[in-house]
Amino acid sequence: MSETNSVEILLVEDNPQDVELAQRALRKANLTNRIQIVRDGAEALDFIFCEGTHAARRIEDTPKVILLDLKLPKVDGLEVLKRIKADPRTRAIPVVMLTSSKEQNDVVESYKLGVNSYIVKPVNFEGFVEAVQQLGMYWLLLNQPPKLQE
């Protein structure tokens, strides 16, 4: 939960049990100390765009991947996704959507907005690895930050 300059995974999730299950899956992938967790859409936007409680952060220190729940208090997941993909500074950040069901129409909407992948909750190790493979994010596992164009 500590705010560092080298956040590799931003987990946006309001359900503490889901958070715990996600953390467990990530821990199994040895990524525990690189996770930033925010509990609603508004806080997610503050973090990403360095506003509010996260104003001290530098926007250039983008997370390497964002795991974004669809249904969030205050600002929902689709709105957050839209804002990320609409801003040139954050557009390149890979976003993985966390969905409750594969059947969700929101999945379609998410893809329209430019989501890079999705994981059906609960987030387990296998699911996470699969998503990472889909994204081709070997660099993340190899601890090599991507070269951002901006």
> Contact with another protein (CB under 8 A): which of 89, 107, 124, 135?
124
Q: Is 15 in the site for another protein (CB under 8 A)?
A: yes
> Contact with another protein (CB under 8 A): which of 39, 57, 64, 121?
121
Q: Is 17 in the site for another protein (CB under 8 A)?
A: yes
Which SS3 state, helix, strand or coil, does residue 38 take? strand
Task: State the minimum distance, in angstroms, from the CB of residue 71 to another protein.
Answer: 4
Torsions phi, psi for 97 (to 5 deg):
-85, 135
- Residues with Cβ within 8 Å of 89's Cβ and at least 6 positions away in sequence, in order, are 59, 62, 150
Residues 5, 29: Cα–Cα separation, whole Å: 21
Task: State the minimum distance, in angstroms, from the CB of residue 27 to another protein.
Answer: 11
Binders of another protein among 26-65, rule CB under 8 A? none
Which of 113, 116, 109 is CA-nearest to residue 140? 116
Residues 57, 47: Cα–Cα separation, whole Å: 8
> Contact with another protein (CB under 8 A): which of 34, 71, 74, 85?
71
Q: Which stretch binds another protein (CB under 8 A): 35-43, 57-65, 96-104, 127-135?
A: 96-104
Residues 18, 21: Cα–Cα separation, whole Å: 5
Q: Is 21 in the site for another protein (CB under 8 A)?
A: yes
> Contact with another protein (CB under 8 A): which of 29, 107, 122, 129?
122
Q: Is 100 in the site for another protein (CB under 8 A)?
A: yes
- Residues with Cβ within 8 Å of 50's Cβ and at least 6 positions away in sequence, in order, are 56, 57, 58, 59
- Provide the binding-site residues for another protein, judged by CB under 8 A: 15, 17-18, 21, 24, 70-71, 100-101, 103-105, 121-122, 124
